[in-house]
Amino acid sequence: MMAGNSSRAALLLTRQLRDLNKSSADGFSAGLVSEDDPFRWAVTILGPPETPFEGGLFRAELVFPTDYPMSPPRMKFLPPIPWHPNVYRNGEVCISILHPPGDDPHGYEMAGERWSPVHTVESILLSVISMLASPNDESPANIDAAKEWREQPEAYRKRVRIIVRQTLEEA
């Protein structure tokens, strides 16, 4: 049973990668970390225009479960984006569509905001770009970044601009 799910997930991921690389999606690129593992993807996201993240190159990894698309992948920025309300200090992305399907045990999200098998890698990456542009400070992964974003937007912007410069030096 598990092998069947795993091979179906691998075929779906292979197709999604092919489709993604054929399309002219702006703001990101994706590929496999290793050609023999369709469950681990390397992605690069461009900082969205007209945001403090503009011009940055942010690398991340998507790790898909063997029952994808029934369960969401995990996404982690490498190196971590150290200052964003919706990114844990270790780089893990915290957005609704990457949370398991169903009701939120903490009551912050409606079931319709969480993972659904209709999501694709493209919809995930577009959601992450949107998250970079406009953080959700209602249930932050990084409380200090959320507080600064809300209470001291200019200080937040300055700190993020430094991070953006660092991403370009590492590229």
Q: What is the pLDDT of residues 76-128, one digit of tens each?
A: 999 999 999 999 999 999 998 898 877 666 666 666 677 888 889 999 999 99
pLDDT of residue 138: 83
SS3 content of the chain, % helix, strand, coil (to 5): 40, 20, 45
Residue 94 designated active-site: yes
User: What pLDDT digit, counting tens, does each position of 8-33 carry?
Assistant: 999 999 999 998 888 767 899 999 99
CATH number reported for the structural domain that contains residue 134 in this entry: 3.10.110.10
Q: Which of 45, 60, 94, 132 is catalytic?
A: 94
Domains identified in the chain, total number: 1
* Distance (Å) of CA 23 to CA 19, 28, 62, 117: 6, 11, 19, 21
Domain limits at 78? 2-170
> Can you tell me the mean pLDDT for 38-57?
95
Q: pTM of the prediction? A: 0.89
pLDDT of residue 137: 86
Is the omega angle on the peptide bond into residue 69 within 30 degrees of 0, that is, cis? yes
